[in-house]
Amino acid sequence: MKNTITKLIRFTLILILIFGISNLAFAQRGRKAKVQEQEQPTNDAFAEEKIEQEAKDEEPIDFMKDLKPRAGIYLSPVIPMGTLGDSISTGFGFGLHADVLFPLSFLKALNLELRTGLFFAYSSFSGNVDLTIEGTTDTVPYAMAASIMPLIVYANVGFPMKALGLTPYGSIGTGVTFSSAHKTVDPDSESLVIEEDRDVKASSVDGAFNAAAGVLYSNPALPYLDLGVQLRYIVSVQKLSGHFFQADVTVSYSFDSSGSSGNNAASQETEVSSESVETK
């Protein structure tokens, strides 16, 4: 199981790196293809206009316009499973995320959007568990407290539905989790446990794999905001083995004001088209 997860993590990292390296090349190629599709010049005026367009095409990619950066927060209940699920109860978490759009022409032709980014979160848990005294079959009650802080690099593929203002998406990612745990024996049972086992703290940094699916909503009246819900599954491997399932409510800020679903951009295109028709 661990070997399979490790291979998945490596594959995800390689995939994200490949997309990152090819991002600017594909964006520039898409711009040049768009210029070539325009009508051939029939006089000096059109020729001059084409030269100006080609000059613009050679300009660097506009970070805000082309990459559409976005940042936001999320809140969620977090359900621990696996080994940890037996000793701690459902916790509560919050986190921050930021990502950018990869303007790949072949995905745009399929009405898909690829975004990559980073999220960092914090979740805390508590519970009670009976632990066996070493060398005996007797158990003593312990109070447990734990926290996890995942730091994940992710890739997100969305399918914008501009007419509805919705963008369903799926996401995978990999990274690390910073974990800590604290267990204290019940005061009435202290005499049954050696002193160094009465209050124990531990921490670790472990590899992690993340998968999520959700939907975003963007309203033209609030072009900078994206609201969403998603289901996330995080697997922590190595020293602290744990599985965490969470349901997130997200609020994101789109710096280019077009929203993840492109509603504002779609409205602007409609306005431009109307103006063109009136001009004609």
In a domain, 49, yes or no: no
Q: Which of 62, 95, 65, 36 is nearest to 256 (CA)?
A: 65
CATH code at 268?
2.40.160.20
- Residue pLDDT, tens place only, 111-157: 999 999 999 999 998 887 776 666 666 777 777 888 889 999 999 99
- Establish if 89 belongs to a structural domain: yes
- Show the tokens assigned to 227: 């609201």
- The answer for residues whose C-beta is within 8 angstroms of residue 104's C-beta and 6 or more apart is 19, 22, 23, 26, 27, 30, 114
Residue 252 to residue 167: CA distance in whole angstroms:
13
* Residue 269 lies inside a defined structural domain of this protein: yes
Residue 83 lies in a domain: yes
Is residue 30 domain-resident?
Answer: no
Q: Within a domain: residue 41?
A: no
21 inside domain: no
Identify whether 58 is part of a domain: no
Taking the C-alpha atoms of residue 128 and residue 7, their distance in angstroms, rounded to an integer, is 35
Q: What pLDDT band is residue 201 in, cutting at 50, 70 and 90?
A: confident
Better pLDDT: 28 or 103: 103
**Rounded to two decimals, what is the model's pTM?**
0.67
For the chain, how many structural domains are there in total?
A: 1
What is the span of the domain harbouring residue 207?
Answer: 67-279
